[in-house]
Amino acid sequence: MTQGTQHIQDYATYIASLPRVLAGAAVLFRDEEGRVLMVEPNYREGWVLPGGTVESDTGETPREGARRETLEEIGLDIEPGRLLAVDWAQSPDRPPIVAYLYDGGVLDAAQLAAIRLQEEELLSWRLIPVDEIPAHALNRLGPRILAALAALTDGTGAAELENGRRVG
């Protein structure tokens, strides 16, 4: 074995030894009254935003994953807007996840009427008033959504979060 080959194998071993981190991406849609579009999954409690796991094994980026998941889950093919929040979320029952949350803009009546749910995963969708988000979005998702909404209005850029809490 040459020195170059040994170096490549050592690097591959090093990369394989690193901890795994998942990536998720979602889109924050609102209606003209400022309510937030949320979906009710059939596989867990609480309501979530349209989105899901980024398929990094295919080379998908978080932005592409957010768009793909939105199309799959609610039938709308909308290019995500600016990044509103990034949340480093840890839990004892899975690897850490970096959750990206993008602006989906304000949906008009025609877009809302065009929503078609992915029936394999979703039971329903609703427009949730901002003050009701904590009751619908469980755990760190509620604070993540509220931080993203604040980023829309305060002009400070994307919110950096750890487990749903603003840092930095």
What domain range is 32 assigned to?
20-166
Note whether residue 30 is domain-resident. yes
Note whether residue 49 is domain-resident. yes
167 pLDDT higher than 70: yes
pLDDT digits (tens, 9 = 90+) for 120-134: 999 999 999 999 999
Note whether residue 1 is domain-resident. no
The per-residue pLDDT for 2 is 62
Note whether residue 28 is domain-resident. yes
Note whether residue 11 is domain-resident. no
Angle at alpha carbon of residue 124, lines to 118 and 28, rounded to 5°: 80
Count of residues for the chain?
Answer: 168
Q: What is the mean pLDDT of the chain?
A: 92
Note whether residue 68 is domain-resident. yes
Q: Is the pTM of this model over 0.75?
A: yes
Q: Hunting for tokens 């199309």 — which residue is that?
A: 71
Kindly tell me the burial class for residue 1, based on how many C-beta atoms sit within 10 Å of its own C-beta (0-12, 13-18, 19 or more): exposed
pLDDT digits (tens, 9 = 90+) for 64-111: 999 999 999 999 999 999 999 999 999 888 889 999 999 999 999 999
CATH number of the domain encompassing residue 136: 3.90.79.10
Note whether residue 9 is domain-resident. no
Share of the chain above pLDDT 70, in %: 95
Q: How many domains does the chain have?
A: 1
Note whether residue 31 is domain-resident. yes
